[in-house]
Amino acid sequence: MAAEDELSRRTARLAKITELCGDPFFITKFDKTHSATAVKTKFEGLAAGEKTDQSVSVAGRVMAIRNNGMFVVILDDTDRLQIFHDLKASAPELLELLALLDLGDIIGVTGLVRRTPRGEITVDATELKVLSKALEPPPEKFHGLKDVEARFRHREQDLVATPRTRETLRARYKMVAAIRQYLYDREFLEVETPMLHVMAGGAIAKPFVTHHNALDMPLYLRIAPELHLKRLVIGGVSEKLFEINRCFRNEGLSPKHNPEFTSLEVYQAYVDFTAMIDLTEAIVHHVALMLHGTGKVKFGDKEIDFTPPWPRKGMVELVREHTGLDLDALTDPVAARAAAQKIGVSTEPGLSWGQIVETVFGHKVEDKLIQPTHVIDLPKEISPLSKAWPDRPHVAQRFETYVNGWEIANAFSELNDPREQRARFLEQAEQKRGPDDPPHPIDEDFIKALAFGMPPMGGLGIGIDRLGMLMTDSASIREVIAFPTMRAVD
RNA sequence: GACCUCGUAGCUCAGCCGGUAGAGCAUCUGACUUUUAAUCAGGGGGUCAUGGGUUCAAAUCCCAUCGAGGUCACCA
């Protein structure tokens, strides 16, 4: 039967239902007394074949109709639940309505709870209401929705058809809630800063550009909230604050990159980056415990142990361990570049020593860091917002945390010297980057804010989507984003 | 952006050494009073992503386009 026929068949049934008991789309409420799980839990003790005289009202989507409607399975946001209709003894109106049910309809049922001889908790329907009619059929009941494109373009279908999708997205949302609660409990204030920026700062990435009509000027979707968050700390809104929200980067898509993604950024005055290491471990471990009851989390064929503390290793030290190349001994960029070339890492000419270290690290080390590892001692040249060590001026007081080869956290002792910050920005603006990259703008408002006096502080960013992937054994970032970015179809 | 793979019924898939399209689920008709992916019998349902080419003949081979996935590149 063609799709149009399916639509007209279901529409015809809707008309009949409307004749019988009114238009379902006019219904505004249903007094649901129990969720599917609540029913199953409450009557757990029933023996097979045992009946009760206790009535419940349940509601959900019709997932299966067996034995001509004798058994109907509904799904709500907790579980599936079986409904029984006595095809011989039920009221004729009920049976008439039952015959008009389709897979996917939303129904409300009132009836007595029993356990069938086969052991299934079941509601013997005495009342049936169609609360909403599905005019389109659901995906195949056993194999579900497999087509990746369809799953992401029509997440509602995927959610109905694929238990794993429900679990993954729920876990992601619970994870975000757990992180918020963790920080609330420690008196961090959750704040909001602009999504629309006059210039996109706080990171290096290509921004999305839009235009404000009334102001007749370009605006950029933020690539990071960092600079505004620091300004809030400077102003004294709170010495401990955070934001969990979206950032946007106009770059390539990959299993680890979505154009919009969620980041957590935390700032705390009067602490250094080592406090952010502790906080990173605490937050991530807390999330693992909350979702899995243990710090050890399965990912693919690996087991990742989030139990603190995690090892800290220098970036140059790691490069040495994995390649034998000691970049500390080659501080001249030309020599460093030649040495990198020898071990098969070619770099653009004109890169700084720090950029070469980062490139070699990215090619030779990154994907080997499976268990949580804090990479410390990052080059100052690639850390324009971080304080350097007084006794090691080319090394930043910064770390990046890697898990499963992915960067999931990035933090530093925040640079608060406005003169030094201006110099770093200028250096940044001159640094060699991609051929079509726009020049890095200098955010004078931010420098002015620093000049107003920023307390020493630690700042931390955690990629929520990637953390979500780790916590849900998801190979693609799209699994943990309800509606990942897709190309438009005609 | 480059390369590889994929796109067949509403869904899940088969068919791909060229010969005019199949199965299961869903759907329709009938049977069935306790099913658990219910079962049994029968029926209907297709622009084989789109466009072009080769050929007597194309779902199948070739080219282009669109969409998707992957790898790489890009990426604080």
> What pLDDT score was predicted for residue A478?
94
For residue A73, which nucleotide's C1' is closest to its Cα? Answer: B36
For residue A69, which nucleotide's C1' is closest to its Cα? Answer: B35
Residue A487 CA, nucleotide B26 C1', distance (Å): 29
For B32, nearest residue by CA–C1' is A67
Cα distance between residue A372 and residue A408, in whole Å? 9
Helix (H) or strand (E) holding A336: helix A333-342
Residue A142 CA, nucleotide B61 C1', distance (Å): 36
Residue A146 CA, nucleotide B11 C1', distance (Å): 9
Cα distance between residue A24 and residue A160, in whole Å? 21
Place of tokens 């703008």: A441
Cα distance between residue A210 and residue A134, in whole Å? 38
Residue A186 CA, nucleotide B73 C1', distance (Å): 43
> What pLDDT score was predicted for residue A344?
86
Residue A152 CA, nucleotide B49 C1', distance (Å): 18
Residue A150 CA, nucleotide B52 C1', distance (Å): 28
For B72, nearest residue by CA–C1' is A254
For residue A362, which nucleotide's C1' is closest to its Cα? Answer: B75
The first and second tokens of residue A223, run together, are: 């690539």
> What pLDDT score was predicted for residue A433?
55
- Based on DSSP, count helices (H) and strands (E) in chain A, helices before strands: 14, 20
Type of residue at A325: L
Residue A316, strand partner residues = none
Residue A67 CA, nucleotide B39 C1', distance (Å): 9
For residue A70, which nucleotide's C1' is closest to its Cα? Answer: B35
Q: In sequence order, what are the residues at sequence separation of 6 or more whose Cβ sits closer than 8 angstroms to the Cβ of residue A164? A: none
Evaluate if pTM is beyond 0.90: yes
How many other CB atoms sit within 10 Å of the CB of residue A152?
18
For residue A82, which nucleotide's C1' is closest to its Cα? Answer: B36
Burial class (CB in 10 A: 0-12, 13-18, 19+), A105: buried
> What pLDDT score was predicted for residue A1?
43
- Give pLDDT tens digits along chain A (490 positions): 444 578 889 999 999 999 999 999 999 999 999 999 999 999 999 999 999 999 999 999 999 999 999 999 999 999 999 999 999 889 999 999 999 999 999 999 999 999 999 999 999 999 999 999 999 999 988 899 999 999 999 999 999 999 999 999 999 999 999 999 999 999 999 999 999 999 888 888 889 999 999 999 999 999 999 999 999 999 999 999 999 999 999 988 899 999 999 999 999 999 999 999 999 999 999 999 999 999 999 998 899 999 999 999 999 999 999 999 999 999 899 999 999 988 888 888 888 899 999 999 999 999 999 999 999 999 999 999 999 999 999 999 999 999 999 999 999 999 999 999 999 988 887 765 554 555 677 899 999 999 999 999 999 999 999 999 999 999 999 999 999 998 887 6
Cα distance between residue A197 and residue A185, in whole Å? 31
Would strands A398-403 and A373-376 be described as parallel, antiparallel, or unpaired?
Answer: antiparallel
H helices of A22-154, in order, are 36-42, 92-98, 148-153
For residue A146, which nucleotide's C1' is closest to its Cα? Answer: B12
Q: Which is nearest to A114 in space by CA: A222, A42, A15, A214?
A: A42
Q: Which nucleotides of B are covered by protein (CB under 7 A)?
A: 1, 9-13, 24-28, 31-38, 43-46, 66-76
Place of tokens 């001889």: A117
